[in-house]
Amino acid sequence: MLAGGSATASAEPEVGCGWQFMSNATTLNIAFPDANATYWVLPYALAGDDRIELSGWYPYARYMSLNTYGTNFDTVDTLRDNQIAPEPGSGNPFADPAATGLPAAQRRWHATVTTGAADHTRNEISALPTGAGAQRVPVGFLIIRVYVPDDPRSAAGGVPLPEVSLTRAGRTASVPTCTTPFDPATVTAGPLGAAATTAFDKVIAGAASGAFPGNVPEATFVNPASTAGLFPNGDNKYVGAGLTYQPGRIVVVRGRAPSYPDTRAGTPPTEPGTDVRYWSMCQNDMVSPYPVVACAADFQTAVDESGYYTYVVAVPGEVPAHAAADPTVTVLPWGSTGVAKKVLFLRHMLPSAQFYPQSVQASQAAGADPATTMGEYYPRATYCSADTYRSGGWRACFGG
């Protein structure tokens, strides 16, 4: 953890190492992450005029952002890629299409984590929670996210993680990037680790259970009551559907797919005319630590000639053969049948002004029913017997 405090001006800031934790679908898989994103976490404890300086590189990827969170794991502030002005001599590929092919040396940016109000036009992000019950001394987490790197072998998008420095009482110290691979046992071992794990589980469990009240029908996508406490991304909104496993029963989901910039195919993230920056459908376990089972991102999702997707969610032995072979169907694994409760999430990231009225964001801003506001982009889900699908395909599952 980066530590501030009341040391004299002549003392060096207390520093550890930067980006202590990495989270994705295989490492520290917690709080419903997206399987096509990687998250690096920098815990901090700041006071007074302390600040964290970040010097980084725009990744070769679909999306990148900085987010700060309080100890309740709710968002404090978000500074996304296209809001971060480049350093002199560099270009921002998320704001300027001409910068898409620039080498890393010309993709530099600098940002500041401040304990006061942040001015995003100056590349500032705030660490100070506001509202009732907010702590006076900013203690929390800085997370950098990278979605869909151009090279799937490079989670960080072909560039190093941002360089970090801590300034306290007028003195600045560089913070080395952690070199020891993350080991969950180092966090959970011993009495302190056990207490931390219990506290973490309590916050996440409370947030997850409160997200979908018990009176919500299963296999029906609704707006969560709240995503607070689940490290939400300020640029994403979600609709979710609770599910329960029964032998021989599958889930079928059907809806229209928004358009997106296929950056893996060479389209720049600034491509005009696309509906959203990113979208995905993810299957998750509704049990601590609330991991993702699997996701199908926009570029991994099959669509038919009308632009509609069809998902089949099932355990491997219960996937109808012609569903698995259908090029217009995407199969998502159920995951362990030992976990009784699951939740499917549809994410929409950064909808365009034209698409906004049909986005998840619009339904939540209006407090409306997404089944009404999203129109053909609403994901209609149903339970269906595997035998019914085998005999009549997805149409039979919807009564067709």
The pLDDT of residue 148 is: 97
Q: Are strands 2-3 and 37-45 parallel, antiparallel or unpaired?
A: parallel
- Judge whether 374 and 359 are in contact, CB under 8 Å: yes
CATH of 2-175, one of 2.40.30, 1.10.3470, 2.60.120, 3.40.630: 2.60.120
The pLDDT of residue 88 is: 97
- Judge whether 345 and 290 are in contact, CB under 8 Å: no
Order the strands of the 171-175 sheet from edge to edge. 124-126, 108-114, 51-57, 163-168, 171-175
The pLDDT of residue 346 is: 95
Q: Does the pLDDT at position 91 exceed 90? A: yes
The pLDDT of residue 138 is: 64
- Judge whether 221 and 133 are in contact, CB under 8 Å: no
**What is the length of the chain?**
400
Measure CA of the first residue to CA of the last residue in the chain; give whole Å: 57
pLDDT per residue as tens digits for the range 119-136: 999 999 998 765 544 455
pLDDT mean over 300-324: 92
The pLDDT of residue 190 is: 47
- Which range (81-95, 162-176, 228-242) has the least confidence? 228-242
Parse the chain into domains and list their residue ranges.
Answer: 2-175, 213-397
Cα–Cα dist 113/115, whole Å:
7
- Judge whether 105 and 115 are in contact, CB under 8 Å: no
| Full-model pTM | 0.88
Instruction: Tell me the β-bridge partners of 341.
Output: 244
- Judge whether 113 and 142 are in contact, CB under 8 Å: yes
Q: Are strands 308-314 and 249-256 parallel, antiparallel or unpaired?
A: antiparallel
Cis peptide before 289 (omega within 30 of 0): yes
Q: Which range among 9-13, 68-72, 184-188, 328-332 has the greatest average pLDDT?
A: 328-332
pLDDT mean over 372-389: 95
- The label of the residue with tokens 């469990």 reads 205
The H or E element containing residue 366 is: none
Cα–Cα dist 49/11, whole Å:
15
The pLDDT of residue 356 is: 97
Computed over every residue of the chain, the mean pLDDT equals 84
pLDDT-derived band at 6 (thresholds 50, 70, 90) equals very low
Q: Does the pLDDT at position 3 exceed 90? A: no
Q: Does the pLDDT at position 2 exceed 60? A: yes
pLDDT per residue as tens digits for the range 156-212: 999 999 999 998 888 888 888 887 655 554 544 444 344 444 545 555 555 555 555
C-alpha dihedral over 137, 42, 360, 319, to 10 degrees? -140
Name the more confident of 299 and 130: 299
Q: Which range among 206-215, 220-229, 237-246 has the greatest average pLDDT?
A: 237-246
HEC profile for 77-104? Answer: EEEEHHHCCECCCCCCCCCCHHHCCCCH
Cα–Cα dist 344/377, whole Å:
16
With the C-alpha atoms ordered 298, 300, 304, 308, is the resulting torsion angle positive or negative? Answer: negative
